[in-house]
Chains A and B, each alone.
Chain A
Amino acid sequence: MSPYSLNDLAARLIAFEATDEDFRDILETLQVMADDRALPEGVRALMGDALVRWIAAPADTRERAAVDLQQVVVAAQGRLDLRDRLTVALHSEPAPSPARESAAPPAAQQSAAPLLPPDSDLSLLTDFIAESRELLEHAEAALLGLEIDPDDAEAVNTIFRAFHTIKGTSAFLALDYLNEFAHHAETVLSRVRDREIRCTGGYADLALRSCDMIRSLLDATQDALEGRGDALPDGYDALLSVVREPEAAGISELGGRAPRSDDDANETPDGTMLLSARDAFAASERSAARRPGSGSDRSADSSVRVRTARLDRLIEMVGELVIAESMISQDPILKQGGHIELNRKVTHAEKIVRELQDLSMAMRMVPLKAPFQKVARLVRDLGARSGKRIEFVAEGEETEIDRNMVDFLGDPLVHMVRNSVDHGIEPPEERRAAGKPETGTVRLSAYHASGNVVVALRDDGRGLNREKIVRKAMQQGLIATAEGMSDKEVYELIFSPGFSTADQVTDVSGRGVGMDVVRRNIEALRGRIEIQSVPGQGTTFLVRLPLTLAITDGMLVRVGGERYIVPTINIHLSFRPSRAALSTVAGRGEMVMLRDEVMPLVRLHRIFGVDGAKEEPTDALLMVVGDGNQRTALLVDELLGQQQVVAKTLGDGLGRVPAISGGAILGDGRVGLILDVNELLTLARHGDVSDHMHTPSRAVA
C-alpha cells in the first residue's frame, strides 16, 4: 500500500503556506504516487505531470501552482472513485466494516482493532491531540490543587470538562480506545462532581493515572498517525477495568477524614502506597496560598494557536528585516548629508523595525509553568514512593523564557528534583531526631536577574556530605586527595561523569547517571549551574540561563580575510601587547603577560588555517577569553565592533564543526561564524593546531 494517499496530498495542499516543509511533503507525496504501481495508470500520469509542473514553477509562484495542483488532485480523486466503485462491484463484497460501527461500545475483546480508524482526517486528529494535551495539563493542575483543597468545586469542574471534551471529540473521530477510557474516567468524575465521592486518596490517584493513560493514548495515536506502529499503551486493559469499577479494584477515599477503616486501606499494595501519598500532602493543606500549579488562574488570556514552524520563520524573517533595514540606514548616501527628509523617514522605519523585533522576540517567550507543574507532580509521586513527607513550593512560575529552552529545561529539572528528594530530604524519623519539622520542603523558584533567568531548587534536607563525596570520588579515582579543596570544589565533584553517592541503587536515583548530564544539558543552553549546601540545613541548585538562545551578543573580529563573531560573554578584555610582555617556552609555546598574569597566547589564524592574517602580536590585538585560572589570549587582527546576532545552525549537512557554534547573517548579508570559545581553547590546548584540511600538517606535541 502506498504510504501516501490522495487525501494526504489534498490535506497538505489545503494547508499549504510555502514553507520548506510543505514543499518537501508535497514533492515527496507526488513522487511516491507517481511511482506507485498500485494506483491506476491515469492517476499516476496525472501525478507525474503535476510533479513536473510543480518543479518548473519558481519558488515565489508555488502558491499559485498549489491551486493548480488541487485541481489535479480533484481529477485524480475522480478516477480513483471510479476504480473503487468498479472494484466493489467486481468483488461484490464491501470492505470489512470497522469495529466502531458496531452499536455496542468497544470492549476488551476487540483489542486487536487499530488505534486509528481507517479514514482518519489528518488535520482534525492533529488538532485534537494538541488540544487534548492542553486540556490534560489543566486537569492535572486542578487535580494537584484538589489534593490540597478537595472541596474546590471549580477544580472538579475543570477536570470533568477535560475528560468530557476528550470523550466527545474522540467519539466523533472514532478513536475507540480513547473514547472508551475517557468515558469511564468521566463517569468517576461525575460522581465526584455530584458529591457522591470525594476526589481524595485512591480516587485522586486514579484520576492522575487516568490523565497519564490518556496522554499515553494520545502519544500512541500520534505514533500511529506518523506510521510508527499501532500499539496500545501498556496497562491499558488493567487500568480500564479499574476505572470502570474503582470500588471493585479496592480504590477508596483513603485518608484521615474519609470514613473508611484502615483494614480496608491496607488490602491492596496500591492502597498502602496511596495512604502515604495522602499523608505526604496532608501538611501542605495548611499552605493553600502557596499551592503548586493551582488551577486558580483560570482567567485564560484569549490566544491563538500558531504552528511553531511558522512562528520561528516569522522571527527569522524579522531578524532579516532588521539586518536589511540597517543596511539601508548605514548606506553611504544617507551619511553624505543633504538628505534630511530621507533620513527622517529611514529613522522612522528603523523605530518600527526595532519595535517589531522586540515584539517578535516576546512572542516566543513562554512561562516556566509547564516544567514547574511537571516537577510538582514528580515531587508528589517520589515522596509517596519513598515514604517521605514533602511539601512542594513553586515561586515565579510565570517567569518567561524562550520556548525552545523550556523543553530542554525539563530533563535537568527532573534529575535535580530526584536528587533533592532521594539524597536531600530525610525520612520523617530522621528529621524529627534532628529537630526539624517532619515534612521536608522542596522549593522551586524562578526569577529574572541581570538579563538572565535564574531557576533555583532548594531543599531543607541533610545537605551534601563532604566526607562521603570525597570518599566516593577517591574510590572512583576522580581525585587523589581532597586536601586543600574548598567545600565548593568538593561539591562540584558530584557533576563528574559516573559519580554517585547513593549507598544503594533505588529506582529514584543512584545509578550514577544524572548530575553530569544535568550540567551538560545546562551548558548546552549556554547556562551555568552552581551548588550551595549547608550540612543539616539543605542544598540549593542555582541554574542561570540566558533569556533566549536566538540572540547572541557578539564582538565581530577580523582575522585575515575572514570575520568571526566571538560571544561577548566569553571576552574579558582586549589589549595590544608590548614586545616585552611576550615570551616563549622552549621556542614554541607562546605566552603573554598582562598585569602579572601569565597566559598562553593562541593564534586564531593558525587554528583555523586563515591566510594573510597579522603575525606580529604587537601590530594586532589580543582578546582575553576563558574562565578563572585558565585564561587565554587569542590573537586576532582587529575588532570590527559589537553586534547582536541571530544565531543559526550551519545546516545539518555539515554536522558538528569543531570550535564553531553556529552562523549569523552579518550586515552585508554574508554569513559570519560564531566561535565556540571553550571548544576553541580545548583544541588549542590539545596541541592540535595544525589544520588537517587547509594547511600542511605540522607536528605539534
Chain B
Amino acid sequence: MHSATATVSPARLAQAGKYLTFFLANEEYGVEILKVHEIIGILPITRVPRTPAFVRGVINLRGKVIPIIDLRDRFGMSREGAEEQVIIVVQVHGIQLGVVVDKVSEVLSIADGDIEPTPSFGVDVSTEYLLGLAKGEGRVRLLLDIDRVLTASEIDSVHAAAAAEG
C-alpha cells in the first residue's frame, strides 16, 4: 500500500499528532506543529537574484534575514487570486524559513486512523511534498512534508541543475 505514496523516492508517512493548517487558494494544508516557529503578518520581500523561482526572496525578521519560499510555485499552482496575508516561519534542520500562505486556519489533532497515503495522480500533479491526506469533519487536508519542501540540499540540487542547464 505504500507504493501508492511513492513518487520520486519513498517518502515517510504522516504521523498522528498536532498540525497547523492553512489555506492556499481553497486547498487546506497541514504542517506538523513542531516545525512551526511562529506566524507573522506579511512583510515586504526582497527578491534575491539567481535563485530558484520558488525562492520568493528574503525578509527582515526582527533583525534576522530569513528566506521566503513560495509553495504555489513548488506545487505548480497559479498565483492568480492569491491573497497572501501570512508568513509561517518554520524551522527545518535548524534552518529558519518563511512560507507565504493565504491564511492560517487552526491547530488540529490528527489521529492515525484519519491519515491516508497520498494517491497518485499521474505526472501532472506533483505529490512528492505530501506526507499524506487527513480526513475529518467532511474535509480533506493535505499534510505537507515540510522537510522536503524546504531542505537546503533540495535547493542546492536545484542550483546544480540550473547550472548544468546553463
List A residues at the B interface (Cβ < 8 Å).
20, 23-24, 27, 31, 51-52, 55-56, 58-59, 316-317, 319-320, 562, 607-610, 648-660, 662-663, 665, 669-673, 688, 690-694, 697
Contacts and interface: CB of A to CB of B under 8 A. Distances in A.
A671 B166 contact: no
B41 to A, nearest CB: 13
Given A651-B66, A655-B156, A691-B49, 15 more contacts: A23-B37, A52-B33, A55-B18, A59-B38, A562-B46, A562-B47, A649-B65, A651-B67, A658-B50, A663-B65, A671-B60, A673-B48, A673-B49, A694-B49, A694-B53
B67 A688 contact: no
B65 A651 contact: yes
A657 B65 CA distance: 14
24 contacts: A20-B96, A24-B94, A58-B38, A320-B62, A648-B65, A650-B58, A651-B97, A652-B152, A653-B152, A654-B58, A655-B156, A659-B50, A663-B58, A665-B63, A665-B65, A670-B44, A670-B60, A671-B46, A671-B59, A692-B162, A692-B165, A692-B166, A693-B50, A693-B51
A333 B146 CA distance: 45
A139 to B, nearest CB: 36
B64 interface: yes
Nearest to A323: B63
For A23, A650, A654, A655, the residue with the greatest tally of chain B CB atoms inside 10 Å of its CB is A654
A653 B50 contact: no
Interface string B138-163: 00000000000010100110010010
A653 B156 CA distance: 9
Nearest to B57: A671
B95 interface: yes
A51 B65 CA distance: 27
A653 B52 contact: no
A561 B66 CA distance: 21
Indicate the size class of the contact surface on chain B.
35 or more
B63 to A, nearest CB: 4
A600 to B, nearest CB: 20
Contacts of B97: 651, 653
A672 B59 CA distance: 9
B51 A657 contact: yes
Instruction: Classify the secondary structure of A's interface with B.
Output: mixed
B66 A653 contact: yes
B162 A693 contact: yes
B36 interface: yes
A226 B64 CA distance: 27
B77 interface: no
Contacts of A609: 49-50
Interface in B77-116: 91-92, 94-97, 107
B79 to A, nearest CB: 15
Contacts of B159: 655-656
Given A59-B38, A673-B46, A693-B162, A655 B63 contact: no
A692 B156 CA distance: 15
Interface in B17-64: 18, 33-34, 36-38, 44, 46-53, 55, 57-60, 62-64
